[in-house]
């Protein structure tokens, strides 16, 4: 039986916010979407703000909704979005469709199917709102598709028609321009350090480039390249580095701008990272700088390398290659950083809050929550595999990318880090 990537979407709530989390599992067949309750605990956490140390609430999480089997099966979750009426939209890139669920988790409809025609998808990746129009970014087709909340197609914009720059369209901003991430080049160029910037572009509705929004720095550990000889011939494998350190960003689901995280100074005398809110025109609404204590990567190196060796050993391309040879190749070719990047994920909430996932600590990670001015307001500890997808008052979503052969419908404190090759 073939294994498939499956996922769950988990809903968490607090006295102020609810978040939806997406969780992915390596399973034979199962997938769930769950809401989880997040509430303030009696303890207070200390967060370093640009003006000094201040007390912030420390939230805890409790799961309160599951969307998935037996009513619906999810594969890999690309993005999650919540409508004004509480409807939940989930992209399924492997199945080339968008699923719509009622607030109670019932599957309502399926939007799109595999194909290149109007309303069809090859790789539906991102979701957002343009007023009351659902916007789907398809990286496979280089296209934006716009639907009403009921799934009726309004229009499509193929952004690669009038620009030869390879890119992936992400969504439509409040000024009507399309934001897209320019492809930085081949994996070889990135690994070799020949390309160090990943631009965010502004396109018009015809797909023509009309401006530059921001430049994201590509870290030394953005991609990994491993060369393994099979039958005497070298086989090249490229994948996301297990300890990535590039700049991060997220597009506001309401189109009000983009939040970028600059991961600089990890080895400096005063380590800092910066968070900036960029308006649809590319202006900086604000920038906040945070000091932090670098966390060594050594504590995670052994388990991470062992997981990589396991994944290569199990891959059909390397059947018959001795495990020792695979392990030596991985250790030779992967450059490991001395310290972990300070931020591993960034998510913009529908209310303007910003959710920053910090470095993993064992199987957990702390999410640092900023208000719409960049001021820390709370922290919440969750399993590292749980990735917040969308946050808004009383609603938030997240995904879990763990390989555990089960679906966790209870306490979301379990799961393991999954290194995808």
Reply yes or no on whether the pLDDT at 58 is more than 60: yes
Q: For residue 9, what are the β-bridge partners?
A: 22, 67
Structural domain total, the chain: 1
User: 312-344: per-residue pLDDT in tens?
Assistant: 999 999 999 999 999 999 999 999 998 999 999
User: 159-180: per-residue pLDDT in tens?
Assistant: 877 666 788 999 999 999 999 9
180 assigned to some structural domain? yes
| Separation CA 47–CA 59 (nearest Å) | 13
86 assigned to some structural domain? yes
Q: Is 146 exposed, middle or buried (0-12, 13-18, 19+ CB in 10 A)?
A: middle
351 assigned to some structural domain? yes
The pLDDT confidence band at residue 415, using thresholds 50, 70 and 90, is very low
132 assigned to some structural domain? yes
243 assigned to some structural domain? yes
| Separation CA 205–CA 203 (nearest Å) | 7
312 assigned to some structural domain? no
93 assigned to some structural domain? yes
| Separation CA 181–CA 357 (nearest Å) | 21
- The beta-carbon contacts of 159-163 under 8 Å, at least 24 apart in sequence, are 159/203, 159/207, 160/207, 161/206, 161/207, 162/206, 162/207, 162/208, 163/203, 163/207, 163/208, 163/209
∠ CA 253-146-282, nearest 5°, is 45
- The pTM of the full predicted model, rounded to 2 decimals, is 0.82
Which residues span the domain enclosing 27?
A: 4-297+337-401
Q: Is 238 exposed, middle or buried (0-12, 13-18, 19+ CB in 10 A)?
A: middle
Best CA proximity match to 60, nearest among 287, 394, 381, 308:
381
409 assigned to some structural domain? no
User: 363-412: per-residue pLDDT in tens?
Assistant: 788 899 999 999 999 898 888 777 776 655 444 455 554 432 222 222 22
- Largest interatomic CA distance in the chain: 61
Are the C-beta atoms of 191 and 289 separated by less than 8 Å?
A: no
CATH assignment at residue 357: 2.120.10.30
């Amino acid at each position: 039986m073939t294994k498939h990537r499956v996922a769950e979407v988990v809903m968490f709530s607090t006295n102020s916010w609810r978040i939806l989390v997406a969780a992915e599992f390596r399973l034979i067949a199962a997938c769930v979407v769950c809401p989880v309750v997040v509430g303030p605990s009696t303890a207070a956490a200390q967060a370093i703000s640009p003006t000094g140390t201040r007390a912030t609430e420390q939230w805890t999480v409790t799961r309160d909704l599951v969307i998935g089997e037996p009513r619906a099966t999810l594969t890999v979750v690309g993005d999650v979005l919540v409508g004004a009426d509480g409807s939940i939209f989930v992209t399924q890139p492997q199945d080339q469709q968008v699923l719509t669920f009622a607030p109670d988790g019932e599957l309502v409809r399926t939007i799109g199917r595999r194909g290149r025609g109007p309303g069809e998808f090859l790789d539906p990746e991102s979701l957002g709102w343009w007023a009351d129009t659902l916007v789907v970014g398809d990286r496979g087709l280089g296209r934006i598709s716009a639907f009403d909340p009921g799934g009726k197609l309004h229009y499509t914009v193929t952004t690669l028609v009038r620009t030869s720059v390879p890119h992936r369209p992400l969504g439509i901003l409040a000024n009507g321009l399309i934001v897209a991430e320019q492809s930085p080049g081949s994996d070889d160029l990135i690994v070799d350090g020949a390309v160090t910037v990943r631009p965010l572009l502004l396109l018009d509705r015809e797909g023509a480039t009309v401006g530059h929004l921001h430049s994201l720095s590509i870290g030394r550990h953005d991609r990994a390249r491993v060369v393994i000889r099979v039958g005497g011939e070298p086989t090249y494998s490229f994948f996301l580095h297990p300890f990535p350190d590039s700049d991060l960003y997220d597009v506001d689901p309401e189109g009000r701008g983009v939040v970028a995280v600059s991961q600089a100074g990890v080895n400096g005398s005063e380590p800092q990272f910066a968070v900036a809110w960029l308006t649809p025109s590319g202006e900086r609404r604000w920038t906040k700088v945070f000091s932090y204590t670098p966390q060594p990567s050594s504590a995670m190196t052994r388990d991470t390398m062992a997981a990589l060796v396991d994944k290569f050993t199990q891959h059909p391309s390397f059947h018959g290659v001795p495990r020792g040879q695979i392990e030596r190749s991985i250790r030779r070719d992967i450059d490991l950083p001395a310290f972990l990047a300070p931020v591993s994920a960034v998510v913009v909430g529908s209310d303007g809050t910003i959710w920053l996932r910090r470095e993993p600590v064992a199987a957990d990670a702390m999410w640092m929550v900023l208000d719409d001015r960049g001021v820390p307001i709370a922290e919440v500890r969750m399993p590292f595999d749980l990735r917040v997808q969308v946050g808004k008052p009383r609603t938030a979503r997240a995904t879990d990318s763990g390989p555990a052969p089960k679906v966790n419908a209870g306490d979301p404190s379990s799961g393991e880090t999954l290194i995808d090759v």
